[in-house]
Structure 1
Amino acid sequence: MRQSLLSLAVASVLLGGCSMIPDYQRPDAPVDGAWPQGAAYTANAAAQTDVSAAALGWREFFRDPALQQLVEVALSNNRDLRIAALNVDAYRAQHRIQRSELFPSIAAAGDGTRQRLPGDLSSSGEPTTSGQYSATLGTSAWEIDFFGRLRSLDEQALQLYFASEEAQRSTQISLVASVANAYLTLQADQQLLQLTRDTLETYRKSYALTERSFNVGVADALSLSQARTSVQSAEVSLAQYSRLVAQDRNALALLLGNGVPASLPQGEVLNADLLAEVPAGLPSELLQRRPDVVQAEHQLQAANASIGAARAAFFPNISLTANAGSASSELSGLFDGGSGSWLFQPSINLPIFTAGRLKANLDYAEVQKNIQVASYEKAIQTAFQEVADGLAARTTYEEQLTAQRALVGTSEEYYRLAERRFRTGVDSYLTLLDAQRQLFSAKQQLIGDRLNQLTSEVNLYKALGGGWHEQTTLAAAPAAD
């Protein structure tokens, strides 16, 4: 009996190699084979190197020690990342559950009954007492996977597990970028807050001078009103940026999963060299280094495997119940010689009429695969668009910042001349007010442009698949003995 069970198990494993999963072919990438070219991309023509952004560790990309510390705290405490890691564990367990169905479940069972029959129910007319005891070892309703249904489901569960791992990587990359952007936004708003405070102080001094001039009859009521308007406008901006700084700290605290350190720099960080250069590489590399693209492909492969399971459902389902053990009418004789027992019960179930259910299941599996194909292609297109946008931003923001710095310098000179001419009575206060507002606006725009440039570099690093490794890993071949 044992040899029969072993032989059947070996045969089922060998025959189980039959699979009805369609041959998988990766869909062609629905994007160009090269990055866009043009005036906005001129500085990126030489950016395609053999170094991958995904291999550039976030500690090397983010050069600011305070930002490195924040990313480290977030990776340890962020709840979204923790959920993603637990989802990986959950899908791993689901795969183990599904894979276990390929093998028989062996169980030991013991049973005993004792029964008394009254005389009018007994064949002898006399009351009788009987017993039955058994101890067996075997399997019950083990599906023998002749047509690959269980193996298809196992492959589907495996691919979903792989997809969950890529989802965890994608969550970490997004978290690293989000922490960096939140930190940069906080620094920019702190810098804008300090600029507003300095500007408000200047406006208040100007208003005080104008008020004294008005009191002695030198300045008119219109100039005094305009000066008061400038002060009040700056006070509005002060309240606005105070609120934004507080909200930025709250947003950063949520990402960190912990409190924001009190020792963070206050606004001057944007003027430093914060980020390393991001290598663009080639568009084809996105298929391997973008975890969301890899995740979409694993989900496509899972949908492809489900077609095999739907196809196999059209064929007979073969299962086996078998056991061997000992049986006796008396408990004391359960293991005596001659009490051996065995059971061998194969069964086959062939679907004949299911009212179209099996065909509908197959159609549904094929539709789901087509949906995953479209999702995979959309993931590639989204990745390509995000990288192309980042490459365009790299050049244009450099040019924009250069022009904006020149505008700030010109505005400062305009303000100095306007103030001097107003104090000497050559120009009206309206000219000075225009110079003040233009300088304030130009400085605000410069801070905003610098923030946009830095966040675009962070987003490009994220779009290229960077942010997964803590530091660059240099793979070197072992030296020959």
Structure 2
Amino acid sequence: MKRPAHSLVAVAVAALLGGCSLIPTYERPAAPVEADFSAHGAAPAGAQPATADIGWRQFFGDERLQRLIALSLENNRDLRVAVLNIEAARAQYGVTRADQFPGINANANGTRQRTPGDLSYSGRSTIGSQYQVNLGVTAFELDLFGRVRSLSQAALAQYLASEETRRSTQISLVAQLANAYLNERSSDELLALAQRTLKTRQDSYGLIKLRYDAGAASELELQQAESLVQSALSEQAIAERNRAQATNAIVLLIGQPLPADLPAPRPLSEQGLLADVPVGLSSDLIERRPDIRSAEQQLRSANASIGAARAAFFPRISLTGAFGTASSQLSGLFDSGSLAWSFAPQISLPIFDGGRNRANLDLSEARKNIAVAQYEKTIQTAFREVADALDAKGTYDRQIQSQQTLVDASRRSLELSDMRYRNGVDSYLQLLDSQRALFTAEQSLLQARTQRLNNLVGLYKSLGGGWEENTVAAKAAPPTSTVQ
């Protein structure tokens, strides 16, 4: 039996009212990077939380640094701006989403007007009055082709992108503060090293001065000892300046002066200052790193905007209507017979616009292609940051080991040089060179340790760590890899 014609019409109308979407089907672009980080020194590891799930309280073992991070998350202005940007994006999404629903307004108005006699049909001047009370809908668009929904989805993606940007801002803030703190600790330890070296050289200068006064040392030896003292004073001044500037950087990041009750710092050479960093697949990086997720939301927003640009080629139907009462007398507004209503649908079909709609569609598609390129670049940048940190990890370990051996050898060389000088075997120049070599080796060792710790902080950040305060329990996941 054939379906009645009115049933087909009803189905067609229902389909139109249900609306359609002209947004292209979204497909995540393929990641232009390797599948894993095995080529960069990451070895397979057992089940454990991903780096993004490791809380910064568990990663940073120094209680002083933990306290500073907590203060920065409370007071930092950059993070505050990121939070306010989220609120702005959320409000903008609310404004755009509201266009999907009719706005109903209650209106009341009155008009009293005098018409001159030469404009009146009766030839006499008249005074007329009109009063109305109604509920009305103004220019509500029937979103048959999904234009408004496309704009709403684009705004939602922008809002979600701002959320991810806020996460990225916090992760960067935690890493910046950790690096500033490590630089302060390094400057502090360099200052202590310079002070110890200065004390040693001053004592040596005192002995040389006594020998010079007794005629047992030459003026050249005295001047060489003096040069070592002045060199140590210069190094001490540099360390003091660097420490003060590092402290200023911390104060800026925490948004307030340093509290007086901060816990005592831990030495940079102490074990457990930073935790191990597990490294997963590149697909895990894409899923967990907030700047990549933000770039993908920007891509989704650009994709949704294409749907709005396509819908502009089709008719736009809007409805305006009102229902209420009207009367020439204010007292008769709600009397029987005062019912008034109006209904004014409007349809607009683009016929000729000088190529505006075509240009808008081309612009939307171009912006999507830009968003794809930016998304792929963000992935490549993230992958490189992880790879660089992994490649540096092993070299820093070897560098520190070699540098420690150099320090030990330089210290023994200084002891032997001092003995040979006191016994008259070597000149003071040999002792001077040994002192300089030891100081340089100790400086290099401390700098290498600082660089290694900064590199681990960078690896933690590049893998999305720093968002959680405390470690999230490990979930069932494919095998990952870890830094060995």
TM-score bracket, normalised by the shorter chain, equals over 0.9
**Aligned twin of 1:18:** 20
**Aligned twin of 2:336:** 337
The AA in structure 1 aligned to 2:220 is L
**Aligned twin of 1:56:** 54
Residue aligned with 1:373, SS: helix
The alignment status of 1:455 with 2:454, answered yes or no, reads yes
**Aligned twin of 1:354:** 353
Equivalent residues in 2 for 1:104-183 (5 A)?
104-183=102-181
Q: Is the 8 A contact 1:47 1:281 kept in 2?
A: no
Residue aligned with 1:261, SS: coil
**Aligned twin of 2:205:** 207
Residue ranges of structure 2 left out of the alignment (5+ in a row):
1-9, 477-484
Equivalent residues in 2 for 1:230-249 (5 A)?
230-249=228-247
RMSD: 2.0
The alignment status of 1:68 with 2:43, answered yes or no, reads no
Q: How many angstroms apart in 2 are the aligned matches of 1:267 and 1:110?
A: 71
Length-normalised TM-score, structure 1: 0.93
Q: How many angstroms apart in 2 are the aligned matches of 1:401 and 1:457?
A: 14
Runs (4+) off by over 4 Å: 11-14, 47-50, 263-268
Residue aligned with 1:152, SS: helix
The AA in structure 2 aligned to 1:182 is A
Residue aligned with 1:110, SS: strand
Describe the shift of the 1:13–1:234 C-alpha distance in structure 2 as closer, same or farther (beyond 3 A).
farther
Q: Is the 8 A contact 1:191 1:268 kept in 2?
A: no
Residue aligned with 2:279, SS: coil
Equivalent residues in 2 for 1:66-465 (5 A)?
66-264=64-262, 269-272=267-270, 273-465=272-464
Q: How many angstroms apart in 2 are the aligned matches of 1:377 and 1:32?
A: 13
Q: Is the 8 A contact 1:56 1:472 kept in 2?
A: yes
Q: How many angstroms apart in 2 are the aligned matches of 1:102 and 1:294?
A: 27
Deviation at 1:458, TM superposition (A): 1.0
- 1:398-432 Cα offsets, whole Å, 9 max, x none, are 12111111111111000111111111111011111
Deviation at 1:211, TM superposition (A): 2.1
Residue aligned with 1:135, SS: strand
Deviation at 1:47, TM superposition (A): 4.5
Describe the shift of the 1:13–1:451 C-alpha distance in structure 2 as closer, same or farther (beyond 3 A).
farther
Q: Is the 8 A contact 1:107 1:138 kept in 2?
A: yes
Deviation at 1:199, TM superposition (A): 0.4
Deviation at 1:144, TM superposition (A): 1.3
Q: How many angstroms apart in 2 are the aligned matches of 1:183 and 1:127?
A: 87
Residue aligned with 1:325, SS: strand
- 1:114-140 Cα offsets, whole Å, 9 max, x none, are 222333332222332221111111111
Describe the shift of the 1:275–1:156 C-alpha distance in structure 2 as closer, same or farther (beyond 3 A).
same
The AA in structure 2 aligned to 1:235 is L
Q: How many angstroms apart in 2 are the aligned matches of 1:419 and 1:190?
A: 28
Residue aligned with 1:202, SS: helix
Q: How many angstroms apart in 2 are the aligned matches of 1:266 and 1:119?
A: 95
The AA in structure 2 aligned to 1:128 is T
Q: Is the 8 A contact 1:188 1:447 kept in 2?
A: yes
**Aligned twin of 1:4:** none
Q: How many angstroms apart in 1 are the aligned matches of 2:263 and 2:140?
A: 65
Q: Is the 8 A contact 2:187 2:242 kept in 1?
A: yes
Describe the shift of the 1:269–1:373 C-alpha distance in structure 2 as closer, same or farther (beyond 3 A).
same
Deviation at 1:111, TM superposition (A): 1.6
Q: Is the 8 A contact 2:23 2:150 kept in 1?
A: yes
The AA in structure 1 aligned to 2:354 is A
- How many residue pairs were aligned? 465
Deviation at 1:466, TM superposition (A): 0.8
Residue aligned with 1:346, SS: strand
Describe the shift of the 1:363–1:24 C-alpha distance in structure 2 as closer, same or farther (beyond 3 A).
same
Q: How many angstroms apart in 1 are the aligned matches of 2:301 and 2:474?
A: 32
Residue aligned with 1:322, SS: strand
- 1:201-238 Cα offsets, whole Å, 9 max, x none, are 11111122222222222222222222111111111111
Residue aligned with 1:89, SS: helix
- 1:56-110 Cα offsets, whole Å, 9 max, x none, are 1111111111111111111111111111111111111110000000111101111
Q: How many angstroms apart in 2 are the aligned matches of 1:63 and 1:79?
A: 26
